[in-house]
Structure 1
């Protein structure tokens, strides 16, 4: 039976699409890709003769109409979105419309850009005794954010934070975070197009990052990472400590000399 496959393309690097996603993309008869966000080089994986649509110029019902007509014609469809379609991918409105029309679909997740960004700078969001939680959020813009989820309210926790879709308002982001509780010395990393060939990395603190971002000319498609996980304070995990026992290791490792 023909169906629609939602496929997460990954954060940018074409090799970071999952194996399952690659197989679905390479076998699809019809591909509808988010042209403003997805690396177009991924289309090289499509088979010869595949119908390709750029959804950047399409509204919701046009997208759904193509999906419905294609499935009814016995064609498999891939809706190629960013690796973040489970976070900020507008997937719900598409799946709800397909349910109304009886279109069969499934979802294959991709690698999120917030994971690609952390990997790009060789860090992790959780550090023992520093931070064990991650807040993924955005600043209000054309899409509103509930007051209870404001950056200022989240900042009081001073935990690790990955802020999407907000780089155009970096000065306001900084203001909200500092007013909410982060010290102005809190480290910040801004990653533009994480894992893409044109990736840029800017490092600073809440006191300096806005000026550095402006100097770098970054105005869109960037993640703002905030928190002491980016700092110099570090404690080793208990997991690999030679005295730490668990189900698979008892006592000191036999490899210890």
Structure 2
């Protein structure tokens, strides 16, 4: 059992009591940060023969269309609130502007975001959602709302999602990007060549990530849906305000104390 004076599980080097003391041992959030830390160790220990463009300050992929899990967003939200409520509201407002843009310019996608999924088969919805997202352009005309335009860096860099830790600066042989030898961005034009200089993040990491994104319903396990970061902000605002809560309140406090593979529908506010 980890004590309060032990080094925090996140890899910051700080004592747990001065870092993530509010997160219970073996919880979903702790498991997420441990996974993040494993990936960072792989990248840290890899000997890059050339200077790689993927590093803090490069923001090419911040314009990409990608989705994240609710668990990852909860970690982001907790990080934002440590910056202060006023700052958190500012980021919410930026994200809400982006949602308005999508509503006007891609009504089909926005209609899906707003779809009432009560009673839906979540496994079926998960695969439909993947198909819908894959048919979208790879890049957006606006950046992730978490991008600080002045510093050109992520506002929650230490708490950034899985994809932001692995895209470009690692490779995986199972991905279409690797198989099709597609350009990753304007700085990485040859994905196979890039694989020669970057560490491999094996399938087990993706499997672990998806295991954290499951909901327990009796004997069944179903994937929770994923959304782009900008839409998570609107979803949280709408759900919280419906119940007269501040828009930045957690919708799944259980992530911070429940053990993995125990999250149930009742745990989602």
TM-score bracket for the superposition, by shorter chain length: under 0.3
Q: Could you say which structure has the greater relative contact order, defined with CA pairs below 8 angstroms and 6 or more residues apart?
A: 2
**Normalized against structure 2, the TM-score is what?**
0.23
Larger strand proportion of the pair? 1
